[in-house]
Amino acid sequence: MKPDDNQCFRCGESLQDNPPPVPKGPELAHLVTERPEVRPMASREVAHEASERRSPVKAAREQDRHLERKEHELAEKEKAIVASVEQLEDDTRSLEDAIKRFDRDDEEMRERENILKQRELQLESLANKLEEAISQLETKPDAAGDIERLKQLSEDYSTRIGEERKRQKAQLDRDIEERLERLKNLQAFMAAAAAVSVTPREVEEPEAVQEERRELTEEEVAQAVAQLGKELEGQFGTPLQHPETAVISTKDERLDFILGGGIPVGHVVIVNGPAGTMKSTLSYYILHRAAVKSAKRSMYFSLEQKRDSLIRQMERIGMSLKDTAGGMVVVDMVDLRKATANEPGDWRAIMMRYVRNVHAQMPFDFFVLDSLESFKSMAQFEFTRESMKDLFDWFKELKITVLVITEKPIDILYQSVQGETYLADGVVEMQMKEFDDAKVYRWLRCVKMRGMQNDPRYYAFYHTGTEFKFSLPLVDSGK
């Protein structure tokens, strides 16, 4: 299902009217969208004076102008940074306000609970009075019919009270749970946002000087070789320190079998397939199961589909975010990307910084990047094989298990200059198989899973509406 769809692909139900409410994530877009106005430069006069004092050689002047421009740029940049830091601080404040609002709401709820309790007490005393009246009536034999009727009434009354009480209580519990989950997410987001607002200076400074790449002299090469020899000494004669590997089970017996037992901790696995093969659903499924059944925390980073739409879609097929008790966080950047499409700055770096900050606040075991194509498009520079290796190394540094979703046809992916399938520890390929004229099945196979003896066969799979089912496909071998 796509974000713009107005009909459910499964049941045809309209999605536009009254979409079910979804916990709203804090909006990050405005954190970076508003750019400060550029004020006139103060440094211009200074530079001008300096140039007058110097000898009137043309070259020197040109250099001055160059410096001036640089200075101008730097000052502008600094102002932009300062402004965005201020903006971020504002946002932090507004987030804090939001938390306060939540606290107030909580109190309100508690008050409501008290009122409810008082009412219950009143109702109980009423019921007692009724019973007393009945027992008094019972003493009069001629009123037997009336007594029966009254007894019946009182029973009805008490069962209704009980039901109502239960309903109210469940409602209250649900409300509280939902609020708590939202609060938890909000806290993580706020902490991450606050951290982002503190770091940009350090990150954006070092671009100032970049040395030209140059050939090393013979001497330098010899030096580098000697140094390399020293650094690699430790790799000789040392066996593997901790041969046992932890493996995360997907908590789906069949899927575990296909993967050779599960996904080893720290693996980066590519989930590939054309549109509609349920890559996102399967990845979400793995995360959701891990959260519900083995309390693994996770983050689903969607660069494609909006958070609300994704959550709603998954809820419809039995994967409610509430079941994870805050153990699973869904983040999108749709708004951010839209708002910053023409802005300078590398959003890839901003996103990575953000993920790192959330991880520091709320360590998670699983991470989904949906999708690699979108992520690549966020980079301002050419995305090379080295960039891909850097990204994968970065995942390994965080010590998280990662599912990377890609949509490129697998045969093209095998020849991609970035070599992602060679770099990855695992590759899961999904495809649509057409049979006869009308039938289309979804197939899946695990092409690669380092360190596991995966089953490389194709499996047919479908979603029952609540879970995935995998089976060896039945194909007419006579063809």
Partner 1 sequence: MNADQRLKTYIEGYDRILEGGIPINHIVLVAGTPGTMKSSLSYYMLYHSVLEGGMTAVYITLEQSRESLLRQMEKMGLKTDRVKDRLHVLDLSIIRKKLREVSTGGSWMQVFKGYVSNLKENLHFQLLVIDSLDVLETMADIADRRTDLFYMFEWLRDLGCTVMLISEASPDRLMDGSYDEGYLSDGIITLKMQVVRDVETQRRIRTVKMRETNHDPSYYSLLFSNGKFQVTKVISE
- Contact criterion met (CB below 8 Å) for 267 and 426: yes
Helix, strand, or coil here: 29? helix
Choice from 271, 331, 452, 461 touching partner 1 (CB under 8 A): 452
Q: Angle formed by the axes of helices 279-294 and 307-316, to 10°?
A: 70
Q: Which of residues 371-430 bind partner 1 (CB under 8 A)?
A: 384-386, 389, 396, 414-415, 419, 421-425, 427
Per-residue mark of binding to partner 1, 215-254 (x: CB under 8 A): xx---xxx-xx-xxx-xx--xxxxxxx-x-x---------
Choice from 13, 45, 211, 219 touching partner 1 (CB under 8 A): 211
Q: Give yes or no for residue 206 binding partner 1 (CB under 8 A).
A: no
- Contact criterion met (CB below 8 Å) for 197 and 85: yes
Q: Which of 268, 369, 285 is nearest to 324 (CA)?
A: 285
Q: Give yes or no for residue 477 binding partner 1 (CB under 8 A).
A: yes
Q: Least distance from C-beta 285 to partner 1, angstroms?
A: 22
Whichever of 45 and 215 has its CB closer to partner 1, that residue is 215
Q: Least distance from C-beta 391 to partner 1, angstroms?
A: 13
φ, ψ for residue 328, nearest 5 deg: -125, 130
- Contact criterion met (CB below 8 Å) for 78 and 102: no
Choice from 456, 462, 465, 469 touching partner 1 (CB under 8 A): 456
Cα angle for residues 411, 415, 416 (degrees, 5° grid): 110
Choice from 139, 210, 342, 464 touching partner 1 (CB under 8 A): 210
The Cα 86–Cα 197 span in angstroms is 8
Q: Give yes or no for residue 440 binding partner 1 (CB under 8 A).
A: no
Q: Give yes or no for residue 213 binding partner 1 (CB under 8 A).
A: yes
Q: Give yes or no for residue 35 binding partner 1 (CB under 8 A).
A: no
The residue type at 176: I
Q: Least distance from C-beta 279 to partner 1, angstroms?
A: 17
List the structure tokens of 26. 């804090």
Paired with 370 in beta bridges are 302, 405
Residue 402, CA atoms < 13 Å, CB-side half-sphere: 24
Whichever of 289 and 442 has its CB closer to partner 1, that residue is 442
The Cα 440–Cα 432 span in angstroms is 6
- Applying CB under 8 A, which residues contact partner 1? 210-211, 213-216, 220-222, 224-225, 227-229, 231-232, 235-241, 243, 245, 384-386, 389, 396, 414-415, 419, 421-425, 427, 433, 445, 447-453, 456-458, 472-473, 475, 477
